[in-house]
Each structure stands twice: as C-alpha cells, then as structure tokens.
C-alpha cells in the first residue's frame, strides 16, 4: 500500500477541507484499530480509512445514496490502486450500497467513520475547542444524549463491540488517535 499515492488521490478528488480532515481522522482511528485487531494489515486499514470518502465530492448522493463507495471503487480501479478487501470495506461503510459487513476491517470502518465526527462535535463544545481537553467520559456521556450530534450513528459506533472491544475502549482509542494528529485536524 502506497500512502503517498493515496494522498495524491485525496488532493485530486476531494475539494472540501472539512472532508480532507475527516479522511485523516478516520485514517488515524483505523490505524490504531489495525494495531489491535490485524497488525499485519496496518497500512491497508489506515489507507482504507483515508480513502473511504474519496467520491463524496463527485456525485449527488442525496439523489443516489447507493452510489457512495461504488464510485470510489471505480476511481481506485482506474488508478490501479487498492485491493478487493479495501473495496469491500469502502462499499460496506455505506450500508446503502447493499454490501454487507463481513470482515473485521468492514466492521472497523463502519464504527470509525461516525466516531470521528462525534469526537469533533464534542471538541467544539469545549470552552477551548481543543481535542487535548476532551475526556473519554464526555464521549460516553454524550452517547446517551440523542439530540447531541444527532447525525452520528450511535448503533454504528457501538457495533465495535462485535469485534470484542468495549465502547469505552473504542472511545479512548479513537480519542487518542485523533489527539495524535490534532494539528492536522485543526483541533
Ligand atoms: Fe466518512
């Protein structure tokens, strides 16, 4: 897996700064999850996280939600980049594609995607808006506040438990991962 090439693809296909930060955030969480669940595939997991939303600026997904993910695979195949495991996870992260969650990496990205936005939303309500100030217990507490960051899919985040990791551990892992790239995230 060539991260340099993946970064070029990000630059080429993603225009919104918000989405680029989101891509880095999901990469960081996927890298830490790989160390825990499939260390031999750390680069694959990280780069799959980095590229999972590559097509978001390309198609009107409100009209065609099932295309999000599939279009990314088209781009990656044209570029001769990635492998079938990566393609499967990228499609499975959007359940509208109809691709089922099967592998550990599928499960990991399904849970990692929403927790990054959730942690960002929590950071932004801290007085200093710094991710270094965020505590794991605030993540746990906010999970039960259904109106807070309502778009963050709680069920998807909690589904990490199917890999044998508690939600608390996952929250801690994701927070640490994102804290490690706070400058890149502007948080
Ligand atoms: Fe995403």
For tokens 């198609």, name the residue.
59
CA gap 161, 168 in Å, rounded = 10
Ligand 1: distance of its center to the CA of 22 in Å? 7
Enter the tokens of residue 162: 């199917």
Query: Taking a C-beta distance cutoff of 8 angstroms, is the pair 85, 105 a contact?
Result: yes
pLDDT band at 61, cuts 50/70/90? confident
pLDDT band at 98, cuts 50/70/90? very high
Q: What is the mean pLDDT of residues 92-112?
A: 97
DSSP letter at 79?
Answer: T
Q: Of 35, 173, 50, 63, nearest to 109 (Cα)?
A: 50
Q: What is the mean pLDDT of residues 21-32?
A: 98
Query: Taking a C-beta distance cutoff of 8 angstroms, is the pair 75, 49 a contact?
Result: no
Q: What residues sit around ligand 1, an ion, with C-beta below 5 angstroms?
A: 53, 113
Ligand 1: distance of its center to the CA of 10 in Å? 13
For tokens 């999850």, name the residue.
33
| pTM of this structure | 0.96
Q: Of 59, 115, 68, 71, nearest to 93 (Cα)?
A: 68
The 10s digit of each residue's pLDDT in 127-182 is 999 999 999 999 999 999 999 999 999 999 999 999 999 999 999 999 999 999 99
Provide the CATH number for the domain formed by 3-185 in this structure. 1.10.3210
Ligand 1: distance of its center to the CA of 114 in Å? 7
Ligand 1: distance of its center to the CA of 141 in Å? 23
Per-residue exposure over 77-104, b if at least 16 CB sit within 10 Å of its own CB, e if not? eeeebbeebbbbbbbbbbbebebebeeb
């Amino acid at each position: 897996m060539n991260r340099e090439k993946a970064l070029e693809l990000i630059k080429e296909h993603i225009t919104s700064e918000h989405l680029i930060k989101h891509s880095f955030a999901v990469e960081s969480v996927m890298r830490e999850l790989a160390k825990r669940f499939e260390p031999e595939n750390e680069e694959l997991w990280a780069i799959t996280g980095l590229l999972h939303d590559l097509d978001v600026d390309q198609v009107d997904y409100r009209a065609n939600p099932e295309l999000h993910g599939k279009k990314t695979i088209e781009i990656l195949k044209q570029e001769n980049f990635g492998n079938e495991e990566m393609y499967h996870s990228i499609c499975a992260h959007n359940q509208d594609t109809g691709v089922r969650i099967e592998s550990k990496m599928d499960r990991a990205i399904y849970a990692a995607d929403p927790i990054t936005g959730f942690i960002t939303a929590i950071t932004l309500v801290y007085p200093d808006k710094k991710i270094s100030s965020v505590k794991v217990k605030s993540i746990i507490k906010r999970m039960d506040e259904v109106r807070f960051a309502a778009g963050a899919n709680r069920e998807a985040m909690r589904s990490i438990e199917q890999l044998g990791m508690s939600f608390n551990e996952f929250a801690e892992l994701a927070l640490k991962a994102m804290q490690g790239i706070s400058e890149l995230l502007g948080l």
